[in-house]
Amino acid sequence: MATANPNIGDDRPVIRQLDDAAINRIAAGEVVERPASAVKELVENAIDAGASRIAIDIADGGKTLIRVTDNGCGIAAGDLPLALSRHATSKIDGTDLLNIHTFGFRGEALPSLGAVGRLTISSRVPGAEAASIHVAGGQVQPVKPAALRAGTVAELRDLFYATPARLKFMRSDRAETQAITDTVKRLAMAEPSVGFTLRDTSGGGEGRVAFRADAESGDLFDALHARLARIMGREFAENALPIDATREGIRLFGYAALPTYSRGAALAQYLFVNGRPVRDKMLGGALRAAYFDFLSRDRHPAAALFIDCDPTLVDVNVHPAKSEVRFRDSGIPRGLIVSALRHALAEAGHRASTTVADATLGAMRPEPQGARVYQMDRSTPRGFSAPPPQGFADLHGSYSGQVIEDAPAPPPEQGPLPEDLPLGAARGQVHENYIIAQTATGIVIVDQHAAHERLVYEKLKRQMAENGVAAQALLIPEIVDLSEADCARLLTHADDLSRFGLTIEPFGGSAIAVRETPAILGEVDATAMLRDILDELNDQDDSQTLQARIEAILSRVACHGSIRSGRRMRGEEMNALLREMEATPHSGQCNHGRPTYVELKLSDIERLFGRT
């Protein structure tokens, strides 16, 4: 007699076909995470429609109202019902999902928004009457006439009213408004020729303008620079280096800030691929690698970088929100970012950010203490006579920090005067640590130890690059057991590790034999080092662990071999240090990312003393 299978009961699950409303709500969970996601989809549609002006109105953090108005090409009345159907789009014809030139292409945004909120679309194409269509909770109403001059108005009310559980996961109105503002700013960076206006109408009335960026004119770099100054701030624009490089059909352009203009968090990093804002770990890791040798671990670079390439070289169809991409050969854009940024930083030479001088001036400004009282205005007590005025000739020599040059100044025909050079001519040394130099337009204060430490460090790095990293062979190779996947990953980077003196070989199965280690590191725990390298490879697909350890040793050597604080320097020594700084890349910051000098303009100094 056959025995019944205990794993199969009478109440076995039945496969059902979900209705369109449920399908759209499920899709909305992937596409529309929060109000900012809805704003992103609607604004991208407006950009794809060729709009030159886009206005966004929101209320209560976008929970009760999101309205996007544009002057684009519009949607024909007969196409409005189709626009609300899933996977209906005018962006692609479906034959090639890799050759995508627009923001949108899935045809999911509008039906998803209509499934979880109350969506009304009013549009007009040239030469036709305006029309509108309304959908609420997935229920589409007939097309009706509308009053509209041109373009499209997409109005979304009561987001997630059809899925009230999602409302419990919304943050405060302030937080959602900030997320929407950040989204609009990212899109505005990608389209400097388009004007954007974001208005918060919470509480009724016309509301307040939360963000505004008028359309920029000029060539690509001028327009982008003006737009970034508007969004990222004037200080970023003043301290950003233009980037423009091409490799194997991939172009990288944009702006990256000087190392001395760094941030405490990675909030000022914006990356775009074919105009699309993305948050990509590989590209972010490349940006960190480019600044690897110039910033401490608690500081982060600021940059807005754009990658343009043939759409067939990158797959944007790997994430519902299209915020992630996958390159056919990820090594090309990564290497392009690292090499282009390092080249730009090297060309910047000794330049430091203007924020260093601004912070110095801010620290030097005295606290306001009422009205000024000058000596000439003070009354002289009876019985006393005013002391005779003293001139500079009456000062004792011990008060002077003047530098007496041993040699006379060179005649004009021998070259430019020291004051005309970028870091000027040394005029004194204070506290045996800071060099005061005079330039044609102000003064420069140099930290002699930090500056010389960077110069020595750069010299050591050049020597290492020219002669390689010396390796010491282990008497007995160290065997490290790993998983098969980790072993294969490490061996693919064996050549790169060998350049830094770490030689590894397969040892059968999932084991690796460490044959040589960098001599400069001394005794090394090879197992711990390999695991640290693996952690970085798994997280960023690249590792700077070994290079970081070697350069940390070089930095330590440079620190001990540089001019110490407290050493008195002669005038010719100080001037020689200034000239070497001018000729050495990256000398504007020390090995830890701090500035090596501060430049104060004469106009700023005069303002400190009220001479303006």
Percent of the chain with pLDDT over 90: 24
Assign domain 402-612 to its CATH architecture.
Answer: 2-Layer Sandwich (3.30)
- Type of residue at 336: L
How far, in Å, CA of 27 to CA of 7, rounded? 33
What pLDDT does 377 receive?
44
Model confidence, pTM:
0.71
CA dihedral 343, 347, 350, 353 (to 10 degrees): -80
Beta strands in 336-450 (DSSP E): 425-430, 434-438, 442-447
Q: What single-letter DSSP state applies at residue 491? A: H
Section 259-276 average pLDDT? 87
Find out if CATH 3.30.230.10 is the number for domain 220-347: yes
pLDDT at 370 over 80: no
* pLDDT, greater one: 560 or 237: 237
What is the per-residue pLDDT across 308-325, written as a single tens digit (0 to 9) for each? 998 888 877 666 666 778
407 phi, psi to nearest 5 deg = -110, 145
* pLDDT, greater one: 161 or 3: 161
How far, in Å, CA of 389 to CA of 385, rounded? 12
pLDDT at 161 over 50: yes
Structure tokens belonging to residue 334: 């990564």
Most confident residue range from 41-50, 384-393, 490-499: 41-50
* pLDDT, greater one: 41 or 591: 41
Of 212, 150, 184, 155, residue with least CA distance to 47: 184
323 phi, psi to nearest 5 deg = -95, -5
What is the per-residue pLDDT across 445-498, written as a single tens digit (0 to 9) for each? 898 888 888 888 888 778 777 777 778 888 888 888 888 888 888 888 888 788
What is the per-residue pLDDT across 496-554, written as a single tens digit (0 to 9) for each? 788 778 888 888 888 888 888 887 777 778 888 788 888 777 766 666 666 666 666 66
How far, in Å, CA of 518 to CA of 516, rounded? 7
Long-range contacts of 112-115 (CB under 8 A, 24+ apart): 112/24, 112/25, 112/27, 112/28, 112/31, 112/32, 113/28, 113/32, 113/38, 113/41, 113/42, 113/156, 113/159, 114/24, 114/84, 114/138, 114/140, 115/21, 115/24, 115/25, 115/27, 115/28, 115/162
Q: Which residue is listed with tokens 């990312």?
A: 593
Section 197-214 average pLDDT? 91
pLDDT band for 229, please (50, 70, 90 cuts).
very high
Lowest mean pLDDT among 130-134, 490-494, 512-516, 573-577: 490-494
Q: Which CATH number fits domain 20-213: 1.10.1740.10, 3.30.1490.190, 3.30.565.10, 3.40.630.30?
A: 3.30.565.10
CA distances from 606 to 106, 191, 443, 597 (A): 61, 41, 12, 20
Q: Mind giving me the DSSP string for 308-335?
A: E--GGGEE-TTSTTS---EESSTHHHHH
Q: Taking the domains of the chain in order of start, what are their residue ranges?
A: 20-213, 220-347, 402-612
CA distances from 7 to 1, 3, 15 (A): 18, 12, 18
Q: Are 458 and 465 in contact (CB under 8 A)?
A: no
How far, in Å, CA of 116 to CA of 110, rounded? 10
* pLDDT, greater one: 48 or 519: 48
pLDDT at 207 over 90: no
Section 368-394 average pLDDT? 44
For 505, the enclosing helix (H) or strand (E) is: strand 503-506
pLDDT band for 10, please (50, 70, 90 cuts).
low
The reply to whether domains 20-213 and 402-612 share a CATH topology is no
Handedness of CA 199, 202, 207, 208 (dihedral sign): negative
What pLDDT does 184 receive?
95
pLDDT at 22 over 80: no
Report how many helices (DSSP H) and strands (DSSP E) the chain contains, helices first. Answer: 18, 23
Residues in CB range of 161: below 8 A, 6 or more apart: 116, 117, 118, 137, 167
Lowest mean pLDDT among 125-139, 274-288, 458-472: 458-472
Section 23-52 average pLDDT? 81
Mean pLDDT of the chain: 79
What pLDDT does 256 receive?
94
pLDDT at 400 over 50: no
Q: Are 590 and 454 in contact (CB under 8 A)?
A: yes
